[in-house]
Structure 1
Amino acid sequence: MSEGSWARRLPSGDAPLFVYGTLRFPEVLTELIGCTMELRPATVPGRRVAALPGKIYPGLVHAESGAAQGFLLTGLTRTQWWVLDEFEDDEYDLSPVCVHVGKRVSYAWTYAWTEAVESGDWSARDFAADHLADYVRQCAAWRRELVLLSGTV
């Protein structure tokens, strides 16, 4: 949950976002941007969803083989992009990636991790079972604070 990401240039228009970690959960999206949007299954070849030291959320990093599993999120408004960008830690870099949605290949943006990772992969199933409910509550509190600080959203 960033304090310095405001300087990052955000995608324009309705650019798609590849989500692979906590943003893949409709409950999290609802707390952060006020709605759940269509999530289409997608993969990003040559990447993996890595566990991060001391974190319950993951990071997308380069991989020798395989593909990161996630979802393509489309139709974000400029305000929703801003909220998600404020939410992401500064250790994430907003980067374009090649995304496979079924047999279609296109480009999307994603938040790629730039710091150290663990050797193991992050588990969405384990996160949902062990942390999702508390994480959703933390997201709601974060959003309330954002509204108070910004006076908008």
Structure 2
Amino acid sequence: MSLVQPSSRRDGFPDAPDVLFVYGTLQFDAVLKGLLGRVPASTPTSAPEWRAAALEGRVYPGLVAAPGATAAGLLLTDLTNQEWRLLDAFEDDQYDLREVSLTTGKRGLAYIWPDVEVRPENWDSAEFKELHLPAYAARCARIGPRLAAGEAKGE
């Protein structure tokens, strides 16, 4: 008897590339290691016409449409099906998985934030690294195994 794996949001994009553009906390090795137990292969890239916006009351950003802007990030290129499902469970339900164009000429999937609770300034990765990364990575290390076991994110 085979165990049926739950689908991921990515399953809604059968013709999309099997790569994820990350622009916020998922750019940090410690966060990826905590969540996934490893650091996937990645390539630096950017998404034109998008920005990583600071969000009200949150230490992580949201990718929002922004004509003339460019969001810097990484393209995760070797995620497994289980890792896709885990990232879906990790990302807030407000995020919508969509395909975006990248400056490399390629396309990737990205978790897009709705235009709510968005602050006018961009998210500051250096500030996040200095002020929040150790605690955030520790949180990810606590919840990663629970998400992998199919449990709720909770805290």
Q: Give the alignment's TM-score, normalised by structure 1.
A: 0.85
TM-superposed deviation, 1:66? 2.0
* 2:114 corresponds to: 114
Q: How does 1:9-24 map to 2 (within 5 A)?
A: 9-11=9-11, 15-24=18-27
> Aligned partners of 1:148, 1:9: CA distance in 2, in Å?
18
Judged with a 3 Å threshold, the aligned counterparts in structure 2 of structure 1 residues 82 and 8 are, in CA distance, closer, same or farther, namely: closer
TM-superposed deviation, 1:37? 1.7
TM-superposed deviation, 1:147? 4.5
TM-superposed deviation, 1:38? 2.2
Match of 2:37 among 15, 34, 37: 34
* 2:135 corresponds to: 134
Q: What amino acid maps onto 1:47 in structure 2?
A: W
Alignment gaps of 5+ in structure 1: 1-5
Tell me the secondary structure at the aligned position of residue 35 of structure 1.
coil
Matched, 1:125 2:123: no
Tell me the secondary structure at the aligned position of residue 119 of structure 1.
strand
> Aligned partners of 1:146, 1:135: CA distance in 2, in Å?
16
Judged with a 3 Å threshold, the aligned counterparts in structure 2 of structure 1 residues 14 and 33 are, in CA distance, closer, same or farther, namely: farther
Cα contact 2:46–2:70 (8 A) shared by 1: yes
Give per-residue Cα distances to partners, 1:76-130, cap 9 Å, x unaligned.
11001000110000110000000123xxx01100001014100000011100000
Cα contact 2:64–2:115 (8 A) shared by 1: no
TM-superposed deviation, 1:64? 2.2
* 1:3 corresponds to: none
Identity, % of aligned pairs? 39
Q: What amino acid maps onto 1:143 in structure 2?
A: G
* 1:66 corresponds to: 69
Cα contact 1:14–1:76 (8 A) shared by 2: no
* 2:3 corresponds to: none
Give per-residue Cα distances to partners, 1:14-47, cap 9 Å, x unaligned.
7010000000001111111111122211011100
Match of 1:55 among 58, 64, 85: 58
Match of 1:75 among 72, 75, 78: 78
Q: Which runs of 4+ in 1 moved over 4 A?
A: 11-14, 147-150
TM-superposed deviation, 1:57? 0.2
> Aligned partners of 1:133, 1:125: CA distance in 2, in Å?
13
